[in-house]
Amino acid sequence: MKTTVKFEESKTAKTACARQGFKGGLHRFSRACRESFQSLKEKVADELNETFAAAHPELVRQAVNEAAALAATTAFPNLFLPALAEEKVLFASQWQMKQERILREQSWLQAA
């Protein structure tokens, strides 16, 4: 015999989430987890600054912050942060190189 369980969110749970504005991100984790995540974020940023030395440090920092915000929406932010950050920094670095190439080409054309 198959049993089907129907889940309905209670009215009190709905109003509690609405009152809190459903705090997503790292707010749902303990202080120790948030501190661990912040420490990991700093280590990842330092490592990526070394790996992508040609990229502007501010661009790397912004990409790591974006990756951290995205990772914070998952159930395992410490697991996803390094890969997301690396991908974001890679794309940011490629974008920066493209912009520099465009500027060089523009200055060459203006000099001609």
Q: What is the pLDDT of residues 77-88, one digit of tens each?
A: 999 999 999 999
Q: What is the pLDDT of residues 9-40, one digit of tens each?
A: 345 443 433 333 345 678 888 999 999 999 99
CA distance 14 to 1: 33
Beta strands in the chain (DSSP E): none
Full-prediction pTM beyond 0.95?
no
Of residues 64 and 30, more confidently modeled: 64
Give the tokens for residue 77.
């932010």
